[in-house]
Every structure is written in C-alpha cells, then in structure tokens.
C-alpha cells in the first residue's frame, strides 16, 4: 500500500515482547494476497481469533491497496468507486474486529496477543459510531470536507480565472508584492469557512466512536499510539519542542530582519510576529521558498544537481537506480523485478494520474512500488531516495505477523525516508560520479540555511496542528473559539500572524488538508526530530569523520546493519526498543538536529547580535 494510502499506518502500543526474530511466521501469513476470504469468528479462542483476524485483514488490505493503485494510476469514476468500496470494507472489518477483541482478557491474550489487540484498536485514526445512521453521517461529512477542500479555488486580482492551491502556492513563492500575497493567502483560507459546519459535527461523531472503544475522545485515541500514557506522550512532545525552540527563535529573528529590510516597517514589524503571507508557503510550515530573498549577500550559489543530472542525460529509471544502489551499498538486496515492472515512474501521456510521490506495499510482502511522475531535478533525486526508504522499511518487516507490519510508530516511517535524504550530500554526489569535487566549507552556511528553512521552520507548525486538535476533541476549545485559539497558538509557537484580523466565523485550520481529511499530524513533528537522531547514529556507525551535515552513510555495511535491525522489528516491539537498535538510546532527542545545525547556530548568533529575538 502507499505510505499515504487507504490504510493508515497502525502506530505502536502495547507491552514488552520477545526478540522479533523469534516470530516464525506460521503458514497463515504466507497465504497469497487475494486468497479465499476467511472471516474471523467471534466465538473462537483468543489466539485463533487473532490469527483469523490477521488473515482477514491482510486479504482486505491487499484488495484495498490494489484498488487504490488502479485508481491512482487510472483515474475514472469507476476506479474511484471500486477503490472507495474496497477501503470501506477494510475499515468496517477493522472496526468490527477491534470491538470483538475487547471480549478477551489480558490473560486470554498473552503478551504478544495483548499487543496485537491494542494495535488493532488504534490502527485507524477515525472510528465511526456503531449506530448506522451516525456512522453514515460521519463518513459523509468527512467526504464532504475533503471534497470542499479539493474544489477550493481563488481568483486573485488580475487573474483570468480562479486558481488552484498549487497555482496560488507558486504565487506565494514568486511574488514580491505584499498586497498580492495577502490577497492570495486570504483567498485560499476562505475555503475553511465552508468546511467549518461539517467539522463541528465530525468532532462530535468521531468522539462518540472513540468512546465506544474505551477512549475519552479522539485526541486521547491518537495519543495512545505511542507506547506511553496519553498525558506522558504530550509531555514528551513538549520536551522535544523545548530542546529545539532556541534554534527556531534564532532562525525566526534572522528571517524577520531580512524581510523587514525587503518590505519595510509598514509591512514587517521589527519586533513581534512575522506576517504569515510573506513566508513563501500557504501555512508557513516551511520557508525555503523565500531563500533567494533572505540569503546572505556572500552566499554560494551551491550545487545545481538538476544541471548535473540533465547534462548526463539521466532518465527517470536512472534516477531510481541511483536510489537503489544507495541501499545496496548498505547491504540491502536489489529491488525485486516486479518493482521495475509495476511502478509508475513517469506521467502517462494518455490519462490523468495522481502524481504525488508515494511508496506502495501492495501485498505486504514483496510487491513494492513507487508512484511518481519523475522529473530530472535535484528535488526529485532526493525524493526518490526518500520513497525507497519507505519501500525498504516495508520489505524489512514483511516477515512479521500482519498487525506488526508497520513502523515502530508513525514518525519512524517518515523519519527513515528523510534520514536517507540527509545522506544526499556533496560528498555522496562525488562518490557516485555526479560531481567532480565537493565545494569548500565556505558554502556550508547557505546550504544549512536552506535546510533550516525546510526542517527547523517546520517544527512549531508540526506541533500546533495536533496540539490544537487535541484540545478541540477534548472540548477545551469550543467551536466559537476554534479560529481565535488557532491563531493564539500559531503566534505562541510559530511567531506568525495573519495578514489582517481574522473573524471567529472563519476556520483557518480547515485550510490545511490534514484537518478536514482527519489525518493525524504529530508524526511529521516526530519525524523531523528522529531523522537527525537516526542520521547521527548511523554516521557514527559508519565511522565518517567531519561535520554531521557533510556526512553520508553511503557504502557503509556497518550503518546498514544497524538500520536493518531496526527496520526488521516493524511494530513487534515498543518504539524505544526500535530506537535503541539503531541509536543505542531509548528516548527521542533533538541532540542530533542541534549538532547538525551547530555551525548555522553560531552564524545566527552573530547575525542576530544587535537584533531583537522573539516576539
């Protein structure tokens, strides 16, 4: 299935288990995808129930994955209907089995069974109420919210027609006119107002479904996916934010000062929050789009990887082969032949497809694929390495029972792909023959600043989306306060403000896809921390000298061995065990991120020495 496909990754929870290598997969798990369907009996003993439940879910997940693949690569009303029905069957079976599993006591289940049953209960981000009318209503309202979002358009002043989000986002990157930027930002965020009534009712119904599974609200259910008590997990998230907050504040101060110089004090305050429409992204979640206007005057132009690839006549297949060779250099197997036969690597000329890059595990064993409309660019080169990170993770845990076939927690899957991306360094490009020589360290400031605008700037936004929703689900934020509190939190954590006053009747959170689509967001915050923790540990295992931001684990069997040990664990053990396998640490830490950006931190201190920091 695609990492962002129909089956949400079932995040980890549960008790301490034995070594995952002790799981000898019984014949039931070797059944081919699409074998005759077996419906789990509600009257069986606990081990038998779980075995039949996993068989049923594997079959339905395969069916859903195949239907989703066909829809994403052959978009028609028929393929959409078939994919929707297959996904609905999978979700319905998961909810039914989760409720049935509650009949068994801890003594009936044993440690492995307890973990499986808990993972089953938290494997979906949305549980519909058992009442058929309410279940249908919840499904319909979520579909309506997604449809409203997808159809969102805005016609900026002077434009010939209404523009899509993608076109509006390009204006935010390319325009230097603050009035136009404010119009584009405000125009897109109007989509939230239409979503708001459905969202209010969705919160009520989603909470009702979560309560039927024993959770006080949907936010508690989401926080129960991390092998900690929900309140303890919330404290862990706050601790991680405290570690990285000083670096973010320093970056914020530098960017504000540069924007002040570009736009003047009538647009950008010397102190206080940055106007969000000036940051080059519709949600101010990443700021790399404005790098050209805030880059240091003496910044190096850096490496034009796109130019290097084009000059060599690189093809889309060549691009993927580079990524495959990276993993083979670590000791992993080459991709299966079916990957090359079945992946979609270029945009077809005869039909519409979903071009958003994604990694797929169709049969949850070895039918791995990526779906991507590859262009010969440096950005796509890095994206391919990232997507193959997902594929190799999927392949590594394929031998486990079905309920354990996912990452240790949802942040791990994203972090693994991004960890590989951190090894796409100038030194790596030299070793694979794309670059004659790495640039001198004098070019590092620009490289690090660009990466910080992508990675560090994201952190508070990655935090706010779910911290806000947790309070919405708990009732701490009432509907009338949705928008005011959203902006209070955006200013508190991100230090940003809207281009003009926002009314309580607006619903600006709904202008971010993951909110109306019911997609938990904390995984992305965690992944932005973990990728640097993984990278530092793997670089140390590889014995690479020099600064962390210039290090690549390419061709290190020692690093590959550590990585493989973690990937193969899947969800069979709690995430601290998986973290320890690759880092030797049992606690998530931002120390790797801070070491990676240490040279930039020193540079920012000098740049900000006479400027206000904070808001």
Residue of 54, 56, 288, 387 marked active site: 387
The reply to whether 390 belongs to the active site is yes
Task: Report how far residue 388's alpha carbon sits from residue 416's, in angstroms, rounded to the nearest whole number.
Answer: 10
Task: Report how far residue 444's alpha carbon sits from residue 603's, in angstroms, rounded to the nearest whole number.
Answer: 11
Bridge partners (DSSP) of residue 115 are: none
Q: How many residues are present in the chain?
A: 615
**Could you tell me the CA-to-CA distances from 91 to 36, 85, 178, 553 in Å, in that order?**
19, 10, 45, 39
Bridge partners (DSSP) of residue 275 are: 497
Task: Report how far residue 145's alpha carbon sits from residue 191's, in angstroms, rounded to the nearest whole number.
Answer: 10
- Give the DSSP letter string of 478-535: -GGGHHHHHHHHHHHHH-EE-SS---TT--GGGGSTTTTTT---HHHHHHHHHHHHHH
Residue of 392, 524, 554, 596 marked active site: 524
Residue of 390, 409, 528, 549 marked active site: 390
Helices (H) and strands (E) in the chain, counts: 24, 4
Residue of 53, 86, 295, 357 marked active site: 357
The reply to whether 514 belongs to the active site is yes
Residue of 270, 356, 379, 591 marked active site: 356
Residue of 262, 514, 558, 580 marked active site: 514
H-run or E-run covering 358: strand 358-361
Residue of 154, 252, 385, 386 marked active site: 386
Residue bearing tokens 């039918």: 367
End-to-end CA distance of the chain: 44
The reply to whether 580 belongs to the active site is no
The reply to whether 595 belongs to the active site is no
Question: b/e per residue, 155-169, with b = 16+ CB within 10 A?
Answer: ebeeeeeebebeebb
Tokens of 268: 């950008």
Task: Report how far residue 318's alpha carbon sits from residue 257's, in angstroms, rounded to the nearest whole number.
Answer: 43
The reply to whether 414 belongs to the active site is yes
The reply to whether 387 belongs to the active site is yes
DSSP class of 369? E
328: left (phi over 0), alpha (psi -120 to 50) or beta: alpha
Residue of 56, 324, 414, 506 marked active site: 414
Residues classed as catalytic = 356-357, 386-387, 390, 414, 514, 524
């Amino acid at each position: 299935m695609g990492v962002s496909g129909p089956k949400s990754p079932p995040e980890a929870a549960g008790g301490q288990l034995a070594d995952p290598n002790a799981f000898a997969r019984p014949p039931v798990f070797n059944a081919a995808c699409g074998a005759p369907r077996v419906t789990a009996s509600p009257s069986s003993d606990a081990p038998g129930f779980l075995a039949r439940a996993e068989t049923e879910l594997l079959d339905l997940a395969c069916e859903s994955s195949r239907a989703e693949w066909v829809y994403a690569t052959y978009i028609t009303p028929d393929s959409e209907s078939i994919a929707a029905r297959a996904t609905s069957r999978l979700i319905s079976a998961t909810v039914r089995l989760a409720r049935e599993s509650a009949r068994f006591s801890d003594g009936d289940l044993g440690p492995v069974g307890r973990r499986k049953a808990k993972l089953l209960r938290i494997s979906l981000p949305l549980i519909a109420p058992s009442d058929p009318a309410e279940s249908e209503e919840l499904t319909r309202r979520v579909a309506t919210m997604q449809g409203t979002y997808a159809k969102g358009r805005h016609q900026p002043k002077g434009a010939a027609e209404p523009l899509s989000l993608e076109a509006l986002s390009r204006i935010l990157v390319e325009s230097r006119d603050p009035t136009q930027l404010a119009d584009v930002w405000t125009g897109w965020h109007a989509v939230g107002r239409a979503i708001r009534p459905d969202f209010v009712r969705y919160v009520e119904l989603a909470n009702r479904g979560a309560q039927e599974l024993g959770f006080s609200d949907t936010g508690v259910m989401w926080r129960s996916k991390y092998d900690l008590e929900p309140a303890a997990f919330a404290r862990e998230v706050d601790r991680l934010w405290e570690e990285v907050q000083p670096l973010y504040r320093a970056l914020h101060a530098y960017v504000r000062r540069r924007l002040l110089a570009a736009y003047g004090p009538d647009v950008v305050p010397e102190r206080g929050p940055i106007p969000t429409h000036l940051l080059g992204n519709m949600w101010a979640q990443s700021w790399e789009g404005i790098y050209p206007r805030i880059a240091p005057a003496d910044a190096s132009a850096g490496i034009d990887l796109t130019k290097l690839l084009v000059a060599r006549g690189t093809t889309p297949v060549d691009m993927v082969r580079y990524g495959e060779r990276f993993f083979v250099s670590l000791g992993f197997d080459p991709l299966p032949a079916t990957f090359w036969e079945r992946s979609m690597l270029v945009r077809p000329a005869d039909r519409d497809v979903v071009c958003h890059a994604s990694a797929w595990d169709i049969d949850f064993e070895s039918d791995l694929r990526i779906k991507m409309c590859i262009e010969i660019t440096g950005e796509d080169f890095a994206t391919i390495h990232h997507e193959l990170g997902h594929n190799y993770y999927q392949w590594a845990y394929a031998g486990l029972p079905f309920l354990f076939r996912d990452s240790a927690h949802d942040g791990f899957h994203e972090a693994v792909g991004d960890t590989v991306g951190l090894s796409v360094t100038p030194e790596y490009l030299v070793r694979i023959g794309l670059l004659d020589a790495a640039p001198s360290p004098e070019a590092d400031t620009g490289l690090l600043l660009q990466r910080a605008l992508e990675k560090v700037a994201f952190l508070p936004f990655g935090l706010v989306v779910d911290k806000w929703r947790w309070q919405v689900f708990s009732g701490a934020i009432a509907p009338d306060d949705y928008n005011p509190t959203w902006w209070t939190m955006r200013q508190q954590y991100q230090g940003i403000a809207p281009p003009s006053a926002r009314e309580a009747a607006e619903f600006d959170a709904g202008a971010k896809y993951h909110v109306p689509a019911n997609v938990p967001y904390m995984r992305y915050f965690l992944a932005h921390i973990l990728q640097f923790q993984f990278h530092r540990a793997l670089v140390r295992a590889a014995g690479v000298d020099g600064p962390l931001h210039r290090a690549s684990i390419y061709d290190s069997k020692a690093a590959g061995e550590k990585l493989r040990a973690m990937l193969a664990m899947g969800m069979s053990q709690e995430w601290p065990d998986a973290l320890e396998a690759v880092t030797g640490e049992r606690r998530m830490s931002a120390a790797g991120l801070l070491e990676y950006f240490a040279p930039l931190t020193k540079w920012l201190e000098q740049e900000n020495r006479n400027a206000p920091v904070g808001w």
